[in-house]
């Protein structure tokens, strides 16, 4: 499995500055698998201010992973793990979706990232 370093570096900017306590402990890793036509899990919980790493893989073809309200947008390629650092600073429900058209059912390929207070 290949690490997408470019993506990782790019997303470090999106995640915002790491807090002091985040650097002390390894962030929680949340694995998300994309395949036609869903994400597993489709619901992801993170605590407000928690530093997590989303590890995205694809089981079949290229997909997109986009969380517009958190400024996250990456491509997920088969055979590659795409890592996204996230430290959400506001609670709420944030929809994510595949934004690379992948066939009949693409429109259903959605999920929710829930940031708990």
Partner 1 sequence: MANELDRRALLQLLGFGGVVLGSGLPGFSLVQAAGGSQDFFFLQLSDAHWGFSGPPNPEADQTLKQAVRAVNASTARPEFIVFTGDLTHTTDDDAIRRKRMAEFKAIVADLKVPKVIFLPGEHDAALDKGQAYQENFGPLHQTFDHRGIRFISLDNVSDPGASVGDTQIDWLKSQLAKVDKDAPVVILAHRPLFDLYPQWDWATADGAKVISVLQPYRHVTVFYGHIHQENHHETGHIAHHSAKSLIFPLPAPGSVPKKAAVPWDPEHPARGLGYREIDVKGKARTVSIQEFDVKGAKV
Q: Which two tokens stand for residue 47?
A: 């605590």
Report yes or no: 82 and 39 within 8 Å, Cβ to Cβ. no
Tokens linked to 45:
């919980």
Is residue 95 a contact point for partner 1 (CB under 8 A)?
yes
Scanning the chain, the segments in alpha helix (DSSP H) are 5-15, 20-24
Asked if 35 interacts with partner 1 (CB under 8 A), we say: no
71 binds partner 1 (CB under 8 A): no
Q: Which residue has the tokens 């002390």?
A: 24
| Residue from 3, 19, 59, 69 in contact with partner 1 (CB under 8 A) | 69
Task: Tell me: does residue 33 bind partner 1 (CB under 8 A).
Answer: no
- Check residue 114 for interaction with partner 1 (CB under 8 A): no
Q: Is 116 in the site for partner 1 (CB under 8 A)?
A: no
Percent composition of the chain: helix, strand, coil (DSSP 3-state, to 5): 20, 50, 35
Task: Point out which residues bind partner 1 (CB under 8 A).
Answer: 62, 64, 66, 68-69, 75, 95-104, 106-108, 110, 112
């Amino acid at each position: 499995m290949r690490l997408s370093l470019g993506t990782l570096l790019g997303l470090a900017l999106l995640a915002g500055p790491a807090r002091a306590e985040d650097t002390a402990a390894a962030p929680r890793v949340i694995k998300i698998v994309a395949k036609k036509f869903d994400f597993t899990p489709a619901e992801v919980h993170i605590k407000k201010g928690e530093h997590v790493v989303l590890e995205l893989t694809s089981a079949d073809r290229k997909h997109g992973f986009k969380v517009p309200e958190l400024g996250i947008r990456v491509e997920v390629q088969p055979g590659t793990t795409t890592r996204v650092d996230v430290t959400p600073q506001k609670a709420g429900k944030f929809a994510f979706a595949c934004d690379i058209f992948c066939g009949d059912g693409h429109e259903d390929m959605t999920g929710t990232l829930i940031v708990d207070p």
